Structures are given as C-alpha cells and as structure tokens.
A and B are shown apart, each in its own frame.
Chain A
Amino acid sequence: MQPHSADFPARAADALTDPDLRRALTKFKTGFPVNRARAVANLPEFEALRDAAKAVKDHTLSHLDHYLEAFEARVRDSGGHVHWARDAAEARSIILRLATERDARLIAKGKSMVSEEIGLNAALEAAGIKAVETDLGEYILQIRGEVPSHIVAPALHLSKEQVAADFRRTHTHLPPDRPLDQPTDLLAEARGELRDVFLNADIGITGANFLVAETGSTIIVTNEGNGDLTQTLSRCHIVLTGIEKVVPTLADATLMLRLLARSATGQEITAYTTFSTGPRRADDPDGPREFHVVLLDNGRSALLGTEMQEVLRCIRCGACMNHCPVYHAVGGHAYGWVYPGPIGAALDPALIGVKEARHLPNASTFCGKCESVCPVKIPLPKIMHRWREVEFERRLSPPSVRQGLWAWALFAKRPRLYRLVTAIAMRVMGWMGKEGAFKSLPLAGGWTGTRDFPAPQGRTFQSLYKDRRHG
C-alpha cells in the first residue's frame, strides 16, 4: 500500500470536519474501551498475564532466528512450505508465483494487515487474478476502493447507509427494491455473495496472529468464520505474516490468546481461534492439499537491537488506538498507512521511513494511555519520543520547528535568563490581558482559533512556587 503519511496534517484537518466520521468516532470512543475494562475486571490475573506475555516476547525476539528456524522445520515436517520475503515486492512475487503456478483465477482472502502492507490485491489484480476480501469490513472496503481505518474494525468509519448504497451499486444482479435498512439485511446479503467465493476459490490466503515454533502451527483469531472457510475449502492455503509473530510453544500462544481478544474487543475469546499445521493428512476428510507460509521481514529485523525493538512485541490488538485521544479525534485514515494510532506512530517510521511517517510520532499528546492498556507493555510514548529525536537529528523537521526549538533551548539552558525573560513576558501579558483572556495571539492562532487563551496573572509559576515554599 502506497503511504500517504506525509499528508497527515491535511488529512487530519479533513477528518475533523467529516460528519460521518465524527458520528462513527463518537460511538467508537466508548465501545471498545468499556468492553475491555469489563473483560479485564473479570480476569484478576490480567496484569500477571501482561508481564508474562512481555517476557515471552522479549525472550523470543532475542532468539528470533532460532525460533523461526524451529518453526520452519516443524512446518516442513508436517508437509508444508515456508517462504522468506525480505520486502513487500518479494512477498508479492512469491504469492504471484504460487498463484500462477496453480493457474488460480479466484482467491479468497481472510483479513490480513500484512497483505495491506504489501499491497497484495493490486498485484494480483494486475496479473488478472481476482482476489476477494471475505471479512465483512474488508469486503465493504474493497468494493469502495478504500483501505482499513482500524486494524481490528477496518470499516468502523462507515455508516450503514453508506454500505447499503455500495451494495446497491455493486450487487446489480439482486432486485433493486430489496430492503437494506437494517445491518442484518446487509450482513445476510454479504453472506450470500461471499458463499460462492468460499466454495469456488482456488487459493485461500489468510494472515496469522501467531506462529508456534514448537508445532509449526499458524493461528488465526476471528469472529466471522470467514478465515476458516477461506483456508478450509480451497485447495491451497497460503499464510502471509510477519517474522515477529512467532512464539515458542502452544503454552505461550495460549497466554497470548488470553490477552488478545480481551484487549481488542473486550471479548473473553473470539468466536474462532484456529491452529493450522500443514496440509490435509492422508485420511482427513477435508482441508487444503497445500500449506504455504510466507514470512515477511520488510524492515522488522532492522529494529532488533535498537531502542525501538520493543515495538515488535505488538500482537495487533488495537487497544492503543481504541484508547488514543488523537485517534478518537482524527480516525485511522488520517495516518495515511496500514497501521494507524499509537502503534502506527511507533512502527510506521521503521516500515515506510522516517521521512514519510515523521508526522505520526508528533501526533500524540503523550498522555500515556496507549502504554497503560498495551497487553505486552510496549512503551509507545518512549518510542514515539525517540522517533521525534531521529526526525530532528536527520533535519527532517521544517525550519520553523527547528528554529523554535533552538530558541527555546537558548533560554532553557540559561536559568537566570529564562527567569528574567519569562517574568517580563508574564507581566506584559498580564497587563495586556486585563480582560482575563486573549481571543487571539500571534503564533498561537491554531490554539485561539477554537478557544480563548487565559491571560497570565502577572507572575510566573517559578516565582509563585518560590513564595509558597518559603511562605
């Protein structure tokens, strides 16, 4: 997928005036967080599980080569194949080759953010292969030509009226006067349309939430059952996922599963959790004849051993964006790439470059809510902070920002000068703002555009503090 993260300021401004998005985000702000809080309250062991999960991920990342090799060996033992892809282009070409070798015409797809990351659908289409998204949200986005705005709830920005209009436009073989007012009508129609895809697909492509080194299993976690129909009914199952998804054992995967749904949607567990290990056995009545796993690096291994390594613990639950005031304000599309919200701000600079993604680590109030709900305790604000430093070091920020920081540093490094200048400034502002507030201020138009700036009362914090300590 082509990144548009460099346009974040403009996209965020558009988002703030989009009434459909405002309505969706108002609902979104409370839905998942309330459900998560309830699920966490119902499991007193939740904190202990978070600590254990962090430890498992840290251990795995520090031995990632060994666990990937163990995973690969077990996949081979069970009759499957593992393919390694350094970058998006290589992953696309591996899957294209698998598809053309099998003369595939129709591919069913389960939900996969890595597939969005590598822009797989466009590549398949260009090769004349029809790929159909089967997750309801992803299906809606595909017929709209849009990308997901959330990693768990990809179409949360849309209203049912928008979906109904899309279905009328696309499903032209159905009676034009059919009722599509209720979400259940839309769901039933999509179910009917996608059934044929499941039954006729030559290949099924899914992502993976986890990989298990002990058994060579790939795990998908879903509610709709689309991923399972995708991988069970076609001849060939291709799993596309990132190298950081591996955990050592089934016991470790079980630990992660206890955290994932609770953190994501507030469910105790999703409707379906499926462990897939190799192709159909000789006496199995069904299942795919072939099993392929494509392991994608695409910038991940470059994070190992850096201060940003911890971002690789991510299990893609979305809790950070569900609780983020910036995401709540602008939604996912403003971020301009596959992974929005705090995890996007921490991960995207590594995957698409600091230059392209430099606004994202700045789109944060540093309130710390993301870190406090992260099931694997990724220090997201710290990592965003580090990316801001990289942005500054590489001189990617605009001159006004750099000059502002330079000016601030000039005073901040000289306490006496700082005290003197701020004391004068507060007096002047206190005198000018006798009415109590400024309706506009030079250099702060963004702030005063929507609210008044309270006028200082004539003294600085430091001088008031000094009085209080000695008084």
Chain B
Amino acid sequence: MDSRSAILGRILAAAQAGGRDEGRAAADVAARLASPPAHPTPGRVKGLTALGLIELFTKMATAVGAGVERVADPARVPHAVADYLSGLGHGLQVRIAPDPWLRAIPWDRRPSLSVAFGRAQAGDQVGVTTALAGVAETGTLVIPSGSDQATSLLFLPRIHIVILPLHHIVGTYEEAWHGLAIRQQARGLGMPRSVNMVTGPSRTADIEQTSLPHAHGPGRVQIILVGEPDPATA
C-alpha cells in the first residue's frame, strides 16, 4: 500500500472506531469549508470610527518599532520618502514594487531620488511597496504577491517603506481577508502565491533572550499613510 493510502486509511479506521457517521462526514466537512463559523474578534476595534482605526493602527505599529507618518496626497510621497532616508543619512536609491498606483506617484518631483521598479536585487538597500490592508488590531500590514508586488522587497533590503492609502486601514484580520477575496475575484484569480503579514521590523531574541531589531529581514519599517480621513465616517 502506498504511504498516502496507509496514512489516510489509519485515520479513517480511527474515526470509524470512534463512531464517526460516515454518511455525514464528507458533507459536514464540505459545509464547514463553504461557510466557516465566525470566531471571536478583538473588542479593541469594535465601534471605532475610521479616525479611531487610524489612531489604533498607528499606536500598534509604533509599539512594535515601525515608523508611521502621514501625507495629504500622493504628490507628497516622494518628499516623505527622500526626507525619511536623508534623515537617516541614507542613500536615496529605492526599489519600488511594480504596482500601477505606486508607478503613478510623481517620483520625479524629488529629482535626487533614484527609483527603479521590480523585484529586489542583492544589493538593494530600500524596498518600497504598498499594502492591501493595514490592520488596526495589531498594526499589521497585509501584502499579497501578484504581478504588481514582489515578495523579495519585503525581506531583502535593509529598509522597507510602505505607502499605504488611508482607506486601506481596517479593524481586523478578517476584514483584510475579505478585501483579499474581493481583489482576487476582481482579477479572476484564486489565493495568491504569497500573503505576507508584516508587523514591524525583523527581530530576534535568540541571544540571551534579549530582543534585538534587524535580524534577517529589514531593520526598519516606515509606513507613510496617504490621504485625508473621510469626513463622512470620521
């Protein structure tokens, strides 16, 4: 017997010995997959306005060592990126995800910035991406892969800058999953190859249980929020 049949056979035998109703098991599983039960979600986001969610997102992301700043419109993004890097005494070469919205940002407004698009290269120091969602419950960025997003940009460079439209901030992970489902459906695609949840810069506590930033992933995560809160929901 091949290993697959052997393992599945053993599991089935144990289930049957335990009195599982084989007439219903397959249907139960299909039903649960089709409409999973809702689990408890953090009360900390309940009842928050859009402004409240932005505040919570900022607080949680800052607490894990990310930087958060706000600009009023996309035209300010090149300045925010350049000023942030200059403030660190860092070079102004950035690698940007091939995302249409990021491409549409007028990067040439700040001529000293040197921009290139695509996946991260070995020597790249700064990766710039957007995110599908910024989740307020823990200050987490949800970033799916796709033709417009290179996963390597999240991990290879020393600095990760995230340009996040304000209306992408949501309360819970569940809302981010909902947003992902809508986006993939609109594109006629299923689950993307990779969905990355990023919460602050990389870290390790493997030496003497002391938490240190900048392990293998970026040592800095800077989130630039773009836009004005919607007055109707704020």
Contacts and interface: CB of A to CB of B under 8 A. Distances in A.
Given A251-B39, A305-B14, A229 B208 contact: no
Interface in B160-213: 173-174, 177, 189-210, 212
Interface string B1-24: 011101110111011011010000
A68 to B, nearest CB: 7
Given A65-B12, A84-B3, A251 B208 contact: no
A249 B32 CA distance: 9
A451 to B, nearest CB: 30
A285 B40 contact: no
Interface stretch (B72-80, B81-89, B101-109, B149-157): B149-157
Contacts of B112: none
A254 B142 CA distance: 13
Contact of A225 (B14, B20, B217): B217
Contact of A52 (B39, B138, B147): B39
B207 A183 contact: yes
Given A70-B29, A135-B206, A226 B15 contact: no
Interface residues of B, number: 80
Interface string B131-152: 0000001101000011101111
A249 B29 contact: no
Interface string A229-255: 100110000000001000011111011
Interface string A147-161: 000000111101110
B49 interface: no
Given A229-B155, A269-B138, A271-B198, A249 B208 contact: no
Nearest to A141: B206
A287 interface: yes
Contacts of A78: 190-191, 193
Nearest to B117: A285
Interface residues of A, number: 99
A191 to B, nearest CB: 6
Interface in B17-55: 17-18, 20, 25-26, 28-29, 32-33, 36-44
Interface in A244-272: 248-252, 254-255, 257-258, 265, 267-272
Interface of A: 24, 27-28, 31, 43-45, 48-49, 52, 56, 59, 62-70, 77-78, 84-86, 90, 134-137, 140, 153-156, 158-160, 163, 183-184, 186-187, 191, 194-195, 198-199, 213-217, 223-226, 228-229, 232-233, 243, 248-252, 254-255, 257-258, 265, 267-281, 283-287, 295, 297, 301-302, 304-305
Minimum-distance CB pairs A-B, first 10: A225-B217, A137-B206, A224-B215, A305-B14, A304-B14, A283-B147, A273-B197, A136-B206, A225-B202, A249-B36
Given A160-B208, A229-B155, A285-B98, 7 more contacts: A156-B206, A191-B215, A223-B203, A223-B204, A249-B36, A277-B193, A286-B152
